[in-house]
């Protein structure tokens, strides 16, 4: 599959070439395998199948998702979360903190948060209960996330103390998160382009390196509005370090940090 053919597929789904440009090699391989499985000889055949078969269309979208992540990616963000946002929310005397990871991929950021929360909980009295919902369009990624087994490269920003506390070696070459980190996570298949948020009044929503990267602004507008609606009145929205909040998204959000926004 050459770039021209891949661009045709992106156009069909209203995906952004800019977002996919650097990761297209792996995505093209997955899509090419799907084309072979469907017996499609070329992109014309494949697009026709996608148009006429909802199951093929759904699977094609799943093959185009990008699972690249790692633990504690963008360290400054986690520092802001630990030192400013969690204490601020806790001071409000909440009975419960509600967190949504929208597009959680393989779960690295979900478990990063759980590690941070365990440390925060140990250092503070009377912290609220925690509700975590983690969603992704790709059930294979959710299955991987629930297993919690990762290659060493994803842990390169995890210090030795956290490795000993929160991980155990798995078959020599991998690490598995310890069972206590898996507790209390609600994993769900969810497409934020078409589905309503899984709940409301979230104190924090992680929307990182997905909607604002792989979709043009005209496509991201409606789902972003629904996600902002799902935030609590003073809730926080986290985006990727290299993502930009579009103009339409700033109307109800104030900039707490370059990639942390608070609902007005």
The per-residue pLDDT for 96 is: 93
CB neighbourhood size of 250 (10 A): 12
Percent of the chain at pLDDT > 70 equals: 100
CB neighbourhood size of 248 (10 A): 15
The per-residue pLDDT for 168 is: 96
Average pLDDT over residues 112-118: 97
Among 59, 65, 68, 60, residue whose Cα is nearest residue 12: 60
Which one has a higher pLDDT value, 12 or 124?
Answer: 12
The per-residue pLDDT for 50 is: 96
DSSP 243: -
Average pLDDT over residues 223-245: 95
3-state secondary structure of 130: strand
* pLDDT at 124 exceeding the cut of 90: no
What tokens does 235 get? 């809730």
Helices H, strands E: what count in the chain? 13, 10
* pLDDT at 101 exceeding the cut of 80: yes
Among 58, 82, 89, 66, residue whose Cα is nearest residue 209: 66
Confidence band for 125, pLDDT divided at 50, 70 and 90: confident
The per-residue pLDDT for 32 is: 96
DSSP 215: S
* pLDDT at 137 exceeding the cut of 90: yes
The per-residue pLDDT for 211 is: 94
Confidence band for 93, pLDDT divided at 50, 70 and 90: confident
Average pLDDT over residues 153-157: 94
Q: What is the distance between the alpha carbons of residues 51 and 247, in angstroms, rounded to a whole number? A: 32
Q: What is the distance between the alpha carbons of residues 55 and 236, in angstroms, rounded to a whole number? A: 35
Q: What is the distance between the alpha carbons of residues 231 and 66, in angstroms, rounded to a whole number? A: 25
Q: What is the distance between the alpha carbons of residues 225 and 37, in angstroms, rounded to a whole number? A: 37
The per-residue pLDDT for 91 is: 87
Sheet holding 174-177, edge to edge: 149-150, 174-177, 167-170
Average pLDDT over residues 73-91: 93
CB distance 211 to 224 below 8 Å:
yes
Q: What is the distance between the alpha carbons of residues 234 and 231, in angstroms, rounded to a whole number? A: 7
Average pLDDT over residues 49-65: 93
The per-residue pLDDT for 257 is: 87
Among 248, 247, 250, residue whose Cα is nearest residue 237: 250
The per-residue pLDDT for 95 is: 87
The per-residue pLDDT for 92 is: 86
Q: Which domains does the chain have, with CATH numbers?
A: 3-63 (no CATH), 75-263 (3.40.50.150)
Q: Please list, residue by residue across 130-158, b when 16 or more beta carbons sit within 10 angstroms of its beta carbon and e when fewer do.
A: bbbbbbbbbeebbebbeebebeeebbeeb
Percent of the chain at pLDDT > 90 equals: 86
The pLDDT tens digits of the residues spanning 166-213 come to: 999 998 889 999 999 999 999 999 999 999 999 999 999 999 999 999
First to last CA, the chain: 46
CB distance 177 to 167 below 8 Å:
yes
Question: In degrees rounded to 5, what are phi and psi of residue 66?
Answer: -115, 115
């Amino acid at each position: 599959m050459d770039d021209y053919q891949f661009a045709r597929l992106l156009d069909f789904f209203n995906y952004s070439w800019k977002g996919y440009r650097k990761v297209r090699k792996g995505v093209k391989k997955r899509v090419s395998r799907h084309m072979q499985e469907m017996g499609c000889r070329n992109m014309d055949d494949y697009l026709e199948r996608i148009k006429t078969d909802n199951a093929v269309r759904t699977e094609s979208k799943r093959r185009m998702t990008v699972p690249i992540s790692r633990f504690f990616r963008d360290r400054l963000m986690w520092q802001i979360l630990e030192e400013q946002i969690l204490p601020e929310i806790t001071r409000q005397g909440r009975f419960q903190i509600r967190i949504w990871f929208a597009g959680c991929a393989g779960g690295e950021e979900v478990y990063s948060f759980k590690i941070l929360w365990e440390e925060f909980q140990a250092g503070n009295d009377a912290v609220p209960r925690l509700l975590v919902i983690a969603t992704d369009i790709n059930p294979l990624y959710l299955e991987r996330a629930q297993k919690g087994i990762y290659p060493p490269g994803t842990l390169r920003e995890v210090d030795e103390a956290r490795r000993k506390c929160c991980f155990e070696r798995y078959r020599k070459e991998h690490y598995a998160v310890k069972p206590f980190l898996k507790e209390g996570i609600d994993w769900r298949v969810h497409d934020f382009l078409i589905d309503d948020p899984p709940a409301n009044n979230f104190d924090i929503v992680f929307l990182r390196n997905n909607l604002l990267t792989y979709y043009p602004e005209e496509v991201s507008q409606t789902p972003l509005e629904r996600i902002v609606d799902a935030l609590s009145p003073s809730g926080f929205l986290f985006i990727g370090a290299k993502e930009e909040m579009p103009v339409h998204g700033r109307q109800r959000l104030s900039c707490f940090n370059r990639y942390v926004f608070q609902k007005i």
